[in-house]
Amino acid sequence: MATMNSDDSVNTELVVPEVVIRRLPLYVRVLTQFSSQGNSVISSEQLGLQLHMTPAQIRKDLSYFGRFGKQGRGYDVSMLEQQLRSILRLDRAWNAAVIGMGRLGRAVVSYPGFAPEGFNILAAFDINNDIVGQNISGLRVQSISQLATAVKKLDIKIGIVSVPIDHAQEVIDALVESGIKSILNYAPLSPKVPDSVNVNSIDPVLSLQSMTYYMK
């Protein structure tokens, strides 16, 4: 991944750890909240307090991408938010499609929090002929056979998979064949994809199972 060094030039040699990339949206969220409250400057200590992280860890994370603040003065909230959004490519809109219009898929397309953050769900698909053709949250459900055509026509860049495990790999294969490089997967499996495809899997059951370890 390309980064910025101390003189703001692009550094394509430095590899940013995945865990750091996953924390950047948390920084953006806090910065957005601080900005909405009229704050123009934030310190690493304040960021750490909000995110339950050490100031040193925050400074280390940000150092992968350049020098944003000044010692003793903190970070310019607006500038840092803008730069992090640019690094995450959140300074543009992204079109997405949902595959699988069961209860989970319907909840996803109905969720109002995507569009304000620049994620536009423009298409919905299913393999069930009883569901195909239905209008759900303003989207006409299409047959999965129309996926490749819709991806190209609507410039869809993100696929959201909400199908049962038995169909998940097949659907993900279809997304990859359609040219999709980013997939949000709700199915409880670790799919096989080319190295060029990024899959982020969400499994609430696994999260619950790890939580019970701490229950005494």
Residue 170: count of CB within 10 angstroms of its CB: 12
pLDDT at 44 over 60: yes
Say if CB 78 and CB 36 are below 8 A apart: no
43-to-54, 55, 69 alpha-carbon distances in Å: 12, 8, 9
pLDDT tens digit string along 128-139?
A: 999 999 999 999
- Cβ-based burial of 149 (10 A; exposed 0-12, middle 13-18, buried ≥19): exposed
Could you tell me whether strands 135-136 and 139-140 are parallel, antiparallel, or unpaired per DSSP bridges?
Answer: antiparallel
Q: What is the mean pLDDT of residues 190-195?
A: 96
Q: What is the mean pLDDT of residues 73-92?
A: 94
pLDDT tens digit string along 5-41?
A: 444 444 445 789 999 999 999 999 999 999 999 999 9
DSSP for 87-100, written as a single string? HTT-SS-EEEEEE-
Angstrom distance (rounded) from CA 89 to CA 93? 9
Average pLDDT of the chain to the nearest whole number = 91
Q: What is the mean pLDDT of residues 72-94?
A: 93
Say if CB 136 and CB 124 are below 8 A apart: yes
* Residue 72 pLDDT: 66
Residue 4: pLDDT band with limits 50, 70, 90: very low
* Residue 67 pLDDT: 80
Structural domains for the chain: 3-87 (1.10.10.10), 94-207 (3.40.50.720)
| Of residues 124, 128, 159, the one with CA closest to residue 138 | 124
